[in-house]
C-alpha cells in the first residue's frame, strides 16, 4: 500500500541493540516487541504519508517508544546506581542543522519532547539536570512523579547488577542490551530529522551522560547527507562521533549511506551497538555489530520490515 | 632556540575569541594577556621538548590558564544567571581515541584534570553536575569553596548582563568574548592530544552545556589527522561537530590542516568563534571569524608567536 509519491519518504526506528537471540527471547515477549515496533512504525509512516514533517514524525515515534515500558527510555527507563532514573534525549533537524537535547533529567515523561523545546525555545542546544527541569517547568511541563518510571523488571535488573557489581546490563546479566530508542526519517519536503532517547545503563553512575543527548554522537541530521540515531555503548559512540561520522563519510568521502553506516558500525566504532539511518533518496541502513537490534523501517522505495535478530 | 629533533613537536593554545580589538584592550591589559599566554606556551613547550606526552602538555597548559583569573575557565569563570559557577572541560588523546569530560561542575578548581580522571578511571566519557563532583571526591579531590571562583570583574559582568537581560557577554556589553581556554599538541612520539575548559557564558541558564565538554564538538584528537580545541558560541560548534569536522575533512576529503580548519570556521560553523589545531606533521592552524582570539603557538618547524588581534 505505498502511496504514489513524486518525492521519496522513509523512516527507520530502533528500540535498542544487544545480545538478542531467539534463545533468549520467548515467543510471547517477541510478539510484544514486534507489536510495539510495528505500532511505532505505522504511527511515523502515517504522519509522513499525510505530509507531516520528519521532525514531527521522529518526535512522535520516539515519544511512542518512550511511553512503552518494554524499552529503556521514558516509562521503561532503567535505574541508576542511586536507585533513581536519569534520562537523556536529543533531536536534530537536517534542514537548518538545529539541535536540542536534555541530559540527566529525572521527572520528564517524554524527554524527546523536552529536547525539541530546548531546540526551539531555549537558545541552547543541551541542558542538563535541574536546569533542564527548570526549563521544562517554564514551558508548562508538569513534573512526573518518580513512580511513573518504576517497573518491577527494571528494579530487579538493578538488584542483579548491584549484586554483580557491574554496570550496563539492561535485560539481565546474561543478556546485555543497550536499550535506547530512536528514529530517523525523510519527509516529502526532502527534510531529514533524527531523534534518540534513553534511560542509560542500569546501575550507571549518577551524572553519567552517554551519546544519546549529544548531537553528532548519538543523533545527527543534515539534509545534504543523512539522518542517524544510534544505540549501544554510549562511550564508544561519543569517542568516534559516530552519527556525524556517517554523514562525513558521505559528504567528504563520497560513500553511499549503506557503506558509510556499515563502516562506522563495523570498523570505526570502538565498541558494541548499532544505528538506524535514512538518506535524502529514501534509502535506509540498519547496521549493528551485536547479536540483534530491535528495529523497523519503511521507505517509499518499497522496503519494509520489523526485525529483532541478525540476518541469516 | 629550537632543539634539533628527528620528529616534529608542536603546541597551540587559546584563551578565547571575540570582539578583541586594539581599541578595546588597553596597553596594560594587553601586556597581562600576552604574559599569561606566553607563560602557558613556554610551560607546554618545555614539557614537549623534555619528551613529555602531548596529553600531559595540554592538561598542564589548560590548568595553567584555568588558574589565571584573566580567562573564563577555572579561577576566572563567569557567573550563571543564578549567581553560581558551572564549568565544563574535556580532554582527548589521539593515540587510542580516548576522551574524558565533565559538565556543570561548581567546586572543581581544575576541571580539565577531573576530565582526565574521568577518561582514565571512571569508565565513562562524560560526567555532569553532582555525579561528576562525587566522582572527584572518590578520586581524592577536595571540593573548592565557591569564593575561589569569585572575581569582582566577573560579578560586574553578571550584573551588567542581568540589567541588559542578555546572555553571552564575557568582558562587558560592548565586547563579546567567548572566554574558553584550551590547547592542542603533538609530542615527539607522534601522539596528538587536545583539551578545552570553560566557565561558559555570563548569565547563562544553569544546566546549559556548550561544546567545550563534548568530544567532537569543542575538542577532538586523532593521531591520523589532528588535535583541535575550539572557542566561541558553543551551540554553533555543537550543531556542526566542529572539531570532528576538521578531522573528517582531512581523513575523508584529503584536505590539509589549514584548509580543513579554515573551512570549518569560515564556511561550516553557523556562528562565531575560532579554534587552534595541530596535525601529525607539526603544522599549526589558528583560524577565527571574530575580531580576535587570544592565542599562542610554537612548532619545531619554526613558527612561533603570541597574538590577540586579527591579521593585517
CA distance B19 to chain A (A): 21
B1 in a structural domain: no
B3 in a structural domain: no
C-alpha cell at B35: 604574559
ipTM: 0.93
CB proximity B124 to A under 8 Å? yes
Closest CA in chain B for residue A133: B207
Length of chain B: 312
What percent of chain A is predicted at pLDDT more than 90?
76
Contact B207 A244 (CB under 8 A): no
- Write down the pLDDT at residue A292: 94
| Residues A145-153, mean pLDDT to the nearest whole number | 85
Q: Is the pLDDT of residue A219 over 60?
A: yes
Residue A26: domain span: 10-307
A1 in a structural domain: no
Residue with cell 541530559: A103
- Return the bridge partners of A11, or none: A185, A298
Catalytic annotation present for A35: no
- Return the bridge partners of A45, or none: none
- The phi and psi torsions of B92 (rounded to 5 degrees) equal -145, 140
B5 in a structural domain: no
A157-177: per-residue pLDDT in tens? 888 888 877 665 444 443 466
B119-175: per-residue pLDDT in tens? 999 999 999 999 999 999 999 999 998 888 888 888 888 888 888 776 654 444 434
B4 in a structural domain: no
Residues in chain B within 8 Å Cβ distance of A98: 239
| pLDDT profile of chain B (312 residues), mean per 10 | 72 93 86 97 98 98 96 88 90 98 95 98 96 96 88 83 66 58 98 95 89 98 98 96 98 98 98 97 97 96 94 57
Q: How many domains in chain B?
A: 1
Contact B127 A209 (CB under 8 A): yes
A217 in a structural domain: yes
B205 in a structural domain: yes
Q: Is the pLDDT of residue A53 over 70?
A: yes
Instruction: Considering the candidates B80, B144, B180, B198, report the single residue annotated as catalytic.
Output: B180
Instruction: Considering the candidates A144, A180, A225, A290, report the single residue annotated as catalytic.
Output: A180
Extended beta strands in chain A, E state = 10-18, 87-93, 98-105, 126-128, 177-178, 181-186, 192-198, 208-209, 219-221, 226-232, 273-279, 284-285, 292-299, 304-309
Work out whether strand A98-105 and strand A126-128 pair parallel, antiparallel, or are unpaired.
Answer: parallel
Q: Tell me, what CATH number does A88's domain have?
A: 3.60.20.30
A41 in a structural domain: yes
Residue with cell 587536545: B194
- Write down the pLDDT at residue B99: 98
A73-115: per-residue pLDDT in tens? 999 888 888 888 899 999 999 999 999 999 999 999 999 999 9
Closest CA in chain B for residue A212: B126
Q: Is the pLDDT of residue A312 over 50?
A: no
- Write down the pLDDT at residue B167: 64
Per-residue confidence band for A138, with pLDDT thresholds at 50, 70 and 90: very high
CB nearest to A245's CB, from B103, B125, B248: B248
CA distance B58 to B80: 27
Amino acid at each position: 500500500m505505498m502511496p504514489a509519491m513524486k518525492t521519496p519518504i522513509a523512516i527507520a526506528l530502533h528500540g535498542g541493540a544487544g545480545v538478542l537471540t531467539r534463545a533468549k527471547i520467548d515467543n510471547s515477549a517477541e510478539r510484544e516487541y514486534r507489536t510495539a515496533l510495528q505500532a511505532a512504525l505505522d504511527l511515523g509512516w502515517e504522519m509522513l504519508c499525510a505530509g507531516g514533517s520528519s521532525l514531527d514524525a521522529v518526535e512522535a515515534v520516539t515519544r511512542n517508544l518512550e511511553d512503552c515500558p518494554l524499552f529503556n527510555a521514558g516509562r521503561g527507563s532503567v535505574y541508576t546506581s542511586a536507585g533513581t532514573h536519569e534520562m537523556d534525549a536529543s533531536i536534530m533537524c537536517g534542514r537548518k542543522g538545529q539541535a536540542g537535547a536534555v541530559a540527566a533529567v529525572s521527572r520528564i515523561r517524554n524527554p524527546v519532547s523536552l529536547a525539541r523545546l530546548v531546540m526551539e525555545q531555549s537558545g541552547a542546544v543541551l541542558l542538563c539536570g535541574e536546569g533542564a527541569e527548570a526549563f521544562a517547568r517554564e514551558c508548562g511541563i508538569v513534573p512526573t512523579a518518580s513512580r511513573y518510571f518504576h517497573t518491577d523488571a527494571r528494579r530487579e535488573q538493578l538488584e542483579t547488577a548491584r549484586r554483580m557489581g557491574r554496570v550496563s546490563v539492561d535485560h539481565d546479566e546474561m543478556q546485555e542490551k543497550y536499550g535506547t530508542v530512536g528514529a530517523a526519517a525523510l519527509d516529502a519536503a526532502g527534510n531529514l530529522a533524527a531523534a534518540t532517547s534513553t534511560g542509560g545503563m542500569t546501575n550507571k553512575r549518577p551524572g553519567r551522560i552517554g551519546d544519546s543527548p549529544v548531537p553528532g554522537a548519538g543523533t545527527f541530521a543534515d539534509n545534504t547527507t543523512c539522518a542517524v540515531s544510534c544505540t549501544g555503548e554510549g562511550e564508544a559512540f561519543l569517542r568516534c562521533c559516530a552519527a556525524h561520522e556517517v554523514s562525513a563519510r558521505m559528504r567528504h568521502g563520497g560513500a553511499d549511506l549503506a557503506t558509510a553506516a556499515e563502516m562506522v558500525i563495523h570498523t570505526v566504532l570502538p565498541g558494541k551497538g548499532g544505528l538506524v539511518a535514512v538518506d535524502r533518496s529514501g534509502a535506509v541502513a540498519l547496521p549493528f555489530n551485536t547479536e540483534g537490534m530491535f528495529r523497523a523501517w519503511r521507505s517509499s522505495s518499497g522496503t519494509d520490515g520489523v526485525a529483532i535478530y541478525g540476518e541469516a
